[in-house]
Amino acid sequence: MPATILGIETSCDETAASVVAETGEAEKPWAIRSSVVASQAPIHREWGGVVPELASRQHIRDICGVVERALEQGGVGLADLDAIAVTQGPGLVGSLLVGLSFAKSLAAACDLPLVPVHHLAGHIESLFLQHGPLPLPAIVLVVSGGHTNLYLVPEPGVYRPLSRTRDDAAGEAYDKVAKLLGLGYPGGPIIDKLAKQGDDHAIDFPVARITHADRNAPFDPGLLDFSFSGVKTAVLRYVKARTAGEASYTPGRRGTPWKEAEQPAAGTLSDREMADVCASFQRVVVEALLDRTFAAAVHHRVRSVGIAGGVSANSRLRADAQKRGEELGLPVFVPTISLSTDNAAMIAAAGLRRFTAGVRGDLDVNADPALALLPTTPSPSPSPDPGR
C-alpha cells in the first residue's frame, strides 16, 4: 500500500506541517496533499534577523494549529498516517526541540513510526518532490540563509558532500548586506528586486577564491568551497565611505563616473547607487555559486544540476543557472518558490525516502543543531510492506 506521512519542520522561524503521500507512479512518486507554513518574518523583521528565543516561543504557539490544518487540508486523520517525519537538525536548538518534541509525543500517542530527517536532505528531496526522478548522477547546490553546500547525488537517497562555505552562507550575506543598507528583513527578496533596477557591473566587488585556479593543474576540490564574508565586508566599506561623503572612494567602479549633482549626501545613498550596489553584489554572489556548481558538474560528469534552498528563489540565480545549463547541455532543476523556502513538504518527502528504506527513529532521539549530512551509501531495498 502507498504510504502517507506527516512532515513537521521547525528548524528556524517557520512552523510548518505537510502531508505527502506515495502515488505509485514512476514519473511522479510523491504527491503533496497539504502544506501549511506559519511564517514568523513579521516578528523578526523589527530586529533585523531571527531572534532564537522569540522563534522557539512562537513555534510553541503555532505548532498545534499548523498540524491540525495540515491534516484537515490533506483530508486525512491520524489513523490514516503511516509515519511522522520531523527535522532533527541542523538549525536553532530551541526551535528544533519544539518540532521534535511534538513529533515524538504524537508518534508515541498514535503508535506511529518516527523518522528523523536532516534539514538539507529535505531541501535536496524537494527537487524530487517537484520534478520526480532526476537524471542521475546530479550535482545539487543547497543554498540558504544558513547553508551553502554542494552535494553529489549518484542515486536516490545518497548524498555525498563536496564543499561548503568557510564563513557566511550566501543567504546570510544577503541579509547582512540588506541590513547595512537599511532595506529590512528578509534581505534576499528585497535585494533581488532592487538589483533589477541597477547596473550589475557598476562596482567590482570581490569574491574570495579559496585556492588559485590553475587550468593546467589537476582538479582541486578546495576550489569548490565558498566564502562570502569578503564581499559582505567590501560592500560595508564601500557604503561607509560613500555615506561619509567620500566622493573619491570608488574602488573598482566602472562605467559613467558620478556627476557632482548625483553624489549622495553624507549619510545617504541615492536610489541609483543603492540599486547599483544591490545589482553588483548579487552578480558576484551568483557567479561564485554557479562557477563552483558547474565546475563540480563538469568534473563529475553528471547528467543534471539541481539548486535548492531559500536562495534558489532568487531570480538571477535561476536565470543564470538555466543559461549555463543550456550552454553545457545539462538540465537544471529548481523547486517552486514555495518548496524553495523552509517547508514541511520537503521534510515529509525526505521522510518517505527513509521510511520506505526501512529507517526508523527511536523516541529518545535528540535535536542536533549542528547535525552533519554525512556521506551515505545506498539503502537496502525495502520489503513490500515495511510495516510499523
Give the residues of the chain that fall short of pLDDT 70. Answer: 209-222, 245-267, 375-388
Beta-carbon contacts of 270 under 8 Å, excluding residues fewer than 6 positions away, are: 262, 263, 264
Residue 256 belongs to domain with CATH number = 3.30.420.40
User: What SS3 string covers 68-105?
Assistant: HHHHHHHCCCHHHCCEEEEEEECCCHHHHHHHHHHHHH
**Whole-number pLDDT of residue 212:** 52
**Whole-number pLDDT of residue 276:** 96
- Dihedral of the alpha carbons of 260, 266, 272, 277, in degrees to the nearest 10: 120
Residues 153 and 34 in one domain: no
**Whole-number pLDDT of residue 245:** 62
Inside any domain, residue 39: yes
Residues 170 and 270 in one domain: yes
Inside any domain, residue 375: no
Inside any domain, residue 335: no
What is the span of the domain harbouring residue 60? 4-124+340-356
**Whole-number pLDDT of residue 11:** 97
Residues 59 and 176 in one domain: no
**Whole-number pLDDT of residue 66:** 98
Residues 144 and 260 in one domain: yes
If you write DSSP's letter for every residue of 112-140 in order, what string do you get? --EEEEEHHHHHHHHHHHHHSSPPSSEEE
**Whole-number pLDDT of residue 48:** 82
Answer whether 138's CB lies under 8 Å from 305's CB: yes
Residues 200 and 315 in one domain: yes
Indicate the number of domains in the chain: 2
Inside any domain, residue 141: yes
Residues 226 and 311 in one domain: yes
Residues 287 and 222 in one domain: yes
**Whole-number pLDDT of residue 243:** 79
Answer whether 226's CB lies under 8 Å from 220's CB: no
Inside any domain, residue 386: no
Q: Please state whether the predicted TM-score (pTM) of the whole model is above 0.85.
A: yes
Inside any domain, residue 236: yes
Answer whether 14's CB lies under 8 Å from 39's CB: yes
Residues 68 and 178 in one domain: no
Residues 105 and 49 in one domain: yes
Inside any domain, residue 114: yes
Inside any domain, residue 376: no
Beta-carbon contacts of 38 under 8 Å, excluding residues fewer than 6 positions away, are: 14, 15, 16, 62, 65, 66
d(CA 344, CA 10): 9
Residues 77 and 38 in one domain: yes
Q: What is the pLDDT of residues 131-186, one digit of tens each?
A: 999 999 999 999 998 899 999 999 999 999 999 999 999 999 999 999 989 998 88
User: Which of 321, 45, 89 is closest to 184 using CA atoms?
Assistant: 45
**Whole-number pLDDT of residue 41:** 87
Residues 162 and 104 in one domain: no
Residues 222 and 351 in one domain: no
